[in-house]
Amino acid sequence: MCISRTPQVKLFIGLVAVLCVAPAGAKKFYDDDPLVNEPPPRDASQAVSRKISDYYDFFRHNFTKTGERHSPGRVIPAQGVDTFGEPRNGAWYARRHYYKPMTVEELVRGPGNERPPSIDGRWKVVKAKTEGITPGFEIVDSKGRRYVVKFDPKDYPEIASAPDILVSKFFYALGYHVPENYIAYFSLEALELARDVKVVTPTGEVKPMRRKDLIDVLLGVPVLDNRYRSTASLFLDGKPLGPFRYHGIRHDDPNDVVAHEHRRDLRGLSIFCAWLGHDDSRAINTQDMLVEQGGVRYVRHHLIDFGSTLGSASSGINSPRSGFEYIVDFGAGFRQLATLGFMPPSWALAKYPKFPSVGRFESKRFDAAKWVPEYPNPAFINRLPDDEFWAAKQVMAFTGEQIAAIVRTGQYSDPRAEKWIIDCLIERRDKIGRAFLEKVLPIDKFAVRDGSLVFEDLGVKHGLVPSRQYIWQWSVFDNEAEGKSVIGGATSGKVPEGRVGAGGFLAADIHGGDIKKMVTVYLRRQAAGWEIAGVDRRW
Amino acid sequence: MPLWMLLCALWLAPMLLAQTTSRAAEIEAARDRKQQKLSPDLPDKWERRLLYMKEARLIERFTFGYYGFRASIGQMATGSGFALGPEYFRQDLAGGALAFRASAAASTRRWVKLNTTFGAPRLFRNHAEWYVQTEHHNYNSMDYYGSGPDSKEESRTNYRLEDTAIDTRFMVRPWRWLAVGASGGYLLMNIGPGQGEPPSTDKVFAPAQAPGIDQQTNFWRYGPLASINYLDSPLGPRSGGLYTLRYDIYRDRRLHQFSFERLEVDLQQYIPLFNKRRVIALHGKAAATTKGEGQKVPFYFQNVLGGANDLRGFAQYRFYGDDMILLNAEWRWEAFPALDVVFFGDAGKVSDRSRDIVRFKDLETAVGFGFRFNVRNATFMRLDFGFSHEGFRFWLKFNDIYGKLPLGQSSPLHVY
């Protein structure tokens, strides 16, 4: 078929070509940059609940390549971030402790600590728990609030319940949406069975739940003075839509426009999971909820179920391999096969405490850069040094006292176990700082003060380097063409004045001796003075 | 401008405009594009199948049964070939206080096994259990090489072992690691000519060499038993120990020629290294038989060595004797989370004189290697390759190598 190229067609083709290659008006910074908050969400009422098969998730991630990955010559920077590289406040993430230091009270409060299950009346058991590996059930308390109640394994009291509480508070402070989890003690007499509750037997039979079924569950869990310790997780607001995946997007959510494997808040999550020993950080332990805000229903993304962290496997202690190797690691396996077992891997030499409430959680053999979850996670694999820096700076923002305060919310009955967890978290935090902060020039929290650009050097602040000499070069930045014109002699922190008018940009290239690790800070001239417009990092 | 161009331009306009105004507009433009192609977030066909498997509880139904019914696979003595049959199993009777099992299985070598078990597994808040069990075997080709350590490999014969037993067992567990109790029952034996390639035992061995080959009798059997068990995992231990002691009294009720008593000690010790990723597994077993004046141990109740569970470089049921000793050692290392590799050494001997057992000379030995396939801390399958002066043997078994000594089990010991 031959198409005659009329002037109109030529015009149209030209227009489309221009639009596709160089969208009209494209520029590095818009007036609303840095955009801290996601725009108000669109209605996602049509999103429907769906499940994820954990077997499928396991096989797919182990034996196929999921999501979009970096390739030689094509590195895909993190997305869903503002011009500082910070994730925006929204359905996935909320800027918390690092951005505005939380008090100890706020850290301990976490997502909320005012709504534990009421002990004023009996708890009505309304559903048997069918998901997950720990025994439990769902209850409604006397105030009508609904909780998932889970237990520790009989031989390991507190091993799952303590992490479930305290790790939820860490993740909250780190910016994620998490449920309110509580340690709750109760006696058998406090339980009342609702009508028409069904239980599924191991053989698949569905039958009415009876009080004896409740007793059977409780026979398999620790009991002290006729009281049972449990994790009571308050039902999340909204309608459950199932887990999110760590790759691709949710097809029924108009607000979910960034592939998950490229989200900084999910790439960086790998560092947080490493810190907290959350090797079970897979899709099945997440939850999307359809929530309503300002009359609009949208999808909010949560992390849930932290019972398998800090060396716990929920139903017992975690494998010593946890965090060091994937479950399926052919290279490591064949090495062991070939060496006849006489060259054990490093992780097999790790020393663990003998407290039943602490699983296999330690800090001496912990290698922050090599930590892995149970199986490959595309978002974790895609992380880049700037993703790592973003996460590491947040981990380093927790002081020892703050860590201790959060750990105490786990209510370990053995002070030695509590101390072990605190000490490990502090040492692991420091290892994370050493592993990741210096992969880029670790300067952050920029401001213009007294005519100079100032910042915080996190490497110096956290003692990774004693001090640093900075090399500066200022340029005039053309926001439309994204080009820089060097300003001769402008090689200090002092902002060169008189070079641009209102709305104009300057760029400061800064490095600390290693030119590969360059940070470019962009300043915009506003009527009231200089404003930091954004930051680029190279490594 | 033609209409189609106008429509395209209108379609592109919002994106272009959005890109030019603000970051928020840029995001809104992306949302616009997404909005136009919203679709249900559905799993693909493989995920749907796996979800169905989970929701229909297919694995649980295969494992635990469907309304009590399930397939019984294996569960027969080594040498049976592949065995399969139906099983009805309920452990939720009377609210879980009672359990019942009935099974029937036949194998590719036409061996048959029937079993019914009824009991109360959770007496006194799990501190006691009581069972009654009936079991019938009709194994038409059990190997027999003659009694004593000097039997010849070429002397292989076979016989039909047919027995029916009813036994009861009561065990008390004052602590989780200690079990003491007693068992007792009645056993009807019938030994017949074997089938298949090797000659029938009765054609090769005289009654003096194979006591009981020519006469059928029945037995009372009873005795105490005790075990100390602090294994970390009952089906795939990596640390701890299991020590079992039992004393069985067999009383010949018809012929009064084959009464005897047997003391049996079984010791297992697992020494973990490197966070249990390496295990030295040790196993020792000894059995000594005593009998009154004029009494004999029938050949089918003799202790047996050889095969997948003890001397792995020898044929199954290779050695028969009134007494026996067995020593096994394994070096196990984890190559993959679900796969352990093993080097092993086995040594043991049978004897017709108890005092020979404690002399560690003339032991039959075997060495080899193997693979253990594990799921959830349990060994569900193993491959062992054993070598001895009688050659090479390959074993595929669906159990842990040493296993738990059945307490109060009915039927002759080596064919449970």
pLDDT tens for A26-59 read 789 999 999 999 999 999 999 999 999 999 999 9
Q: Which amino acid is at A136?
A: G
Pair B60, B202 in one domain: no
Query: In chain B, which residues have their Cβ closer than 8 Å to the Cβ of A336?
Result: 333-336, 341
A295: left (phi over 0), alpha (psi -120 to 50) or beta: left
In chain A, what percentage of residues exceed pLDDT 90?
A: 84
A33 closest CA partner among A80, A83, A79, A87 = A83
Name the residue facing B40 among A204, A252, A352 (closest C-beta).
A252
pLDDT for residue A214: 87
Identify whether residues B80 and B143 lie together within a single domain.
Answer: no
DSSP for A478-527, written as a single string: ETTTTEEEE-TT--SSBPPPSSS-TT-EEEEEEESS-TTSEEEEEEEEET
How close B62 comes to chain A (CA, Å)? 8
For residues B143 and B276, state if they share a domain: yes
* Interchain pair B24, A32: CB under 8 A: yes
Query: What long-range pairs does A491-498 form, CB within 8 A, spacing at least 24?
Result: A492/A452, A493/A452, A493/A453, A493/A454, A494/A451, A494/A452, A494/A453, A495/A448, A495/A451, A495/A452, A495/A453, A495/A523, A495/A530, A497/A451
Among B56, B84, B111, the domain-final residue is: B111
**B328 is a domain residue:** yes
Q: Are residues B53 and B155 in the same domain?
A: no
Domain that holds residue B76: 45-111
Task: State the sign of the Cα–Cα–Cα–Cα dihedral B75, B76, B77, B82.
Answer: negative
What is the identity of the amino acid at B120?
Answer: A
pLDDT digits (tens, 9 = 90+) for A374-395: 999 999 999 999 999 999 999 9
Q: Model confidence over A239-266: pLDDT tens digits?
A: 999 999 999 999 999 999 999 999 999 9
One-letter amino acid at A22 equals A
Cα distance between residue A304 and residue A292, in whole Å: 20
Average pLDDT over residues A180-198: 92
pLDDT at B411: 42
User: What residues in A contact B333, CB-CB < 8 Å?
Assistant: 336, 340-341, 344
User: Least CA distance to A340: which residue of chain B?
Assistant: B333
The whole-number pLDDT of residue B4 equals: 58
Flag whether pLDDT at A478 surpasses 60: yes
Q: Helix, strand, or coil here: B293?
A: coil
State percent of chain A over pLDDT 70: 94
- Structure confidence at residue B94 (pLDDT): 86
Determine the pLDDT at residue B68.
Answer: 86
Contact A436, A389 (CB under 8 A): yes
What is the arithmetic mean of pLDDT over A397-406? 98
Tell me the torsion sign for CA atoms A522, A539, A85, A166. negative
Domain identity same for B283 and B361: yes
Q: Are B274 and A344 inside 8 Å of each other by CB?
A: yes
The residue of A53, A214, A322 whose CB has the most chain B CBs within 10 angstroms, and thus the best one to mutate to test that interface, is A53
Q: Is residue A18 over pLDDT 50?
A: no
Asked if B43 lies within 8 A of A350 by C-beta distance, the reply is no
Q: Pick from B87, B111, B135: which residue ends a domain?
A: B111
Q: Tens digit of pLDDT per residue, chain B (416 long)?
A: 555 555 555 555 555 544 458 999 999 999 999 999 999 998 999 999 999 998 888 887 777 788 888 888 888 888 888 999 999 998 888 878 899 999 999 999 999 999 999 999 989 988 999 999 999 999 999 999 999 999 999 999 999 999 999 999 999 999 989 999 999 999 999 999 998 889 999 999 999 999 999 988 999 999 999 999 999 988 889 999 999 999 999 999 999 999 999 999 999 999 999 999 999 999 999 999 999 999 999 999 999 999 998 999 999 999 999 999 999 999 999 998 889 999 999 999 999 887 777 787 889 999 999 999 998 788 889 999 999 999 999 999 888 888 655 555 544 455 54
* Interchain contact, A341 vs B21, CB within 8 Å: no
Same structural domain, B51 and B171 = no
> Cβ contacts (< 8 Å) between A200 and chain B: which residues?
57
For the beta carbon of residue A220, count every other beta carbon within 10 angstroms: 10
Residue A310: name the closest of A384, A228, A420, A389 by CA: A420
B12, B38, B92 ranked by CB distance to A46: nearest: B38
A366-370: which pairs have CB atoms within 8 A and are 24 or more residues apart?
A366/A274, A366/A323, A366/A424, A366/A427, A366/A428, A366/A431, A367/A324, A367/A431, A367/A435, A368/A271, A368/A274, A368/A275, A368/A428, A368/A431, A368/A432, A368/A434, A368/A435, A368/A436, A369/A435, A369/A436, A370/A324
Contact A348 B1 (CB under 8 A): no
- Contact yes or no for B363/B350 (Cβ under 8 A): no
Give the pLDDT score at A21: 43
- Asked if B92 and B132 sit in the same domain, the reply is no
Per-residue pLDDT at A538: 96
Q: Which residues of B touch A51 (CB under 8 A)?
A: 43, 51
Question: Do the Cβ atoms of A8 and B5 come within 8 Å?
Answer: yes
- pLDDT for residue B55: 85
How many angstroms away from the CA of A27 is the closest CA of chain B?
Answer: 8
Q: Are residues B171 and B258 in the same domain?
A: yes
Other C-beta atoms closer than 10 Å to the C-beta of B214 total 10
Considering only CB atoms, B60 lies closest to which of A204, A321, A337, namely A204
Nearest one of A240, A91, A275, A271 to A167, comparing CA atoms: A275
Locate the chain A residue with the closest alpha carbon to B369. Answer: A340
Residue A232: which of A134, A300, A318, A156 has the closest Cα?
A134
With the C-alpha atoms ordered A451, A456, A460, A464, is the resulting torsion angle positive or negative?
negative
In this complex, do B341 and A341 lie within 8 Å of one another by their Cβ atoms?
Answer: yes
In this complex, the residue of A31, A219, A341 whose CB is nearest that of residue B333 is A341
Q: Does B205 map to a domain?
A: yes
pLDDT of residue B410: 42
Domains of chain A from N-terminus onward = 54-107+245-438 (1.10.1070), 115-166+177-240 (no CATH), 443-537 (2.60.40)
Is the domain of B171 the same as that of B64?
no
A139 CA: distance to closest CA in chain B (Å):
23
Domain count for chain B: 2
Residue B168 is part of a domain; what is its CATH number? Answer: 2.40.160.50
Instruction: Indicate whether A157 pLDDT > 60.
Output: yes
Question: In this model, does residue A19 exceed pLDDT 60?
Answer: no
Cβ contact, residue pair B8, A347, below 8 Å: no
Taking an 8 Å cut-off on Cβ atoms, the answer to whether A39 and B27 are in contact is yes
Instruction: Give chain A positions within 8 Å (CB) of B24.
Output: 32, 35, 39
Report pLDDT for A130: 62
> Are B151 and B95 part of one and the same domain?
no
For B335-360, b where at least 16 C-beta lie within 10 A, e where not — what string? bbbeebbbebbbbbbbbeeeebbeee
Cross-chain CB nearest to A56 (options B50, B95, B334): B50
Chain mean pLDDT for chain A: 92
Partner residues linked to A299 by β-bridges: A290
pLDDT band of residue A10 (cuts 50, 70, 90) is low
pLDDT of residue A132: 59
- The residue among B111, B142, B166 that closes a domain is B111
Count CB pairs under 8 A between chains A and B: 166
Q: What per-residue confidence (pLDDT) applies to B409? A: 52
Same domain, B68 and B176: no
Q: Apex CA B147: angle with CA B144 and CA B151, to 5°? A: 80
**Which one of A31, A38, A350 has the shortest CB-CB distance to B275?**
A350
CB atoms B40 and A48 under 8 Å: yes
Cβ neighbours of residue A150 closer than 8 Å, sequence gap 6 or more: A129, A132, A134, A135, A136, A160, A161, A164, A230, A231, A233, A307
Residue B158 domain-assigned (yes or no)? yes
Do B249 and B389 belong together in one domain? yes
| A212 closest CB neighbour out of B33, B95, B275 | B95
Count of Cβ atoms closer than 10 Å to residue B167 Cβ: 21
What is the pLDDT at residue A503? Answer: 92
pLDDT digits (tens, 9 = 90+) for A199-236: 887 666 788 888 888 888 888 899 988 899 999 999 99
> Complex ipTM above 0.85?
yes
Q: Do B92 and A25 touch (CB under 8 A)?
A: no
The verdict on whether omega for the bond into residue A34 sits within 30 degrees of 0, i.e. cis, is yes
Nearest to A24 among B1, B20, B68 (CB): B20
Q: How do strand A191-193 and strand A123-128 relate by DSSP bridges?
A: parallel
In a domain, B140, yes or no: yes
Average pLDDT, stretch A327-332? 92
Residue B416: predicted pLDDT: 46
For the stretch A403-424, pLDDT in tens is: 999 999 999 999 999 999 999 9
Query: Which residues in chain A have their CB less than 8 angstroms from residue B47's CB?
Result: 52-53, 56
Give the CA distances from residue B27 to residues A250, A256, A458, B34, in Å, rounded to whole numbers and listed in that order: 16, 10, 32, 11
CA distance B172 to chain A (A): 19
Q: Determine which of B274, B275, B344 to mutate to test the interface with A (most A C-beta atoms within 10 Å).
A: B275
pLDDT single digits (tens) A103-114 = 999 999 999 989
Q: What is the DSSP letter of A285?
A: G
Q: What is the pLDDT of residue A394?
A: 98
How far apart (Å, rounded) are the C-alpha atoms in residues A524 and A317? 54
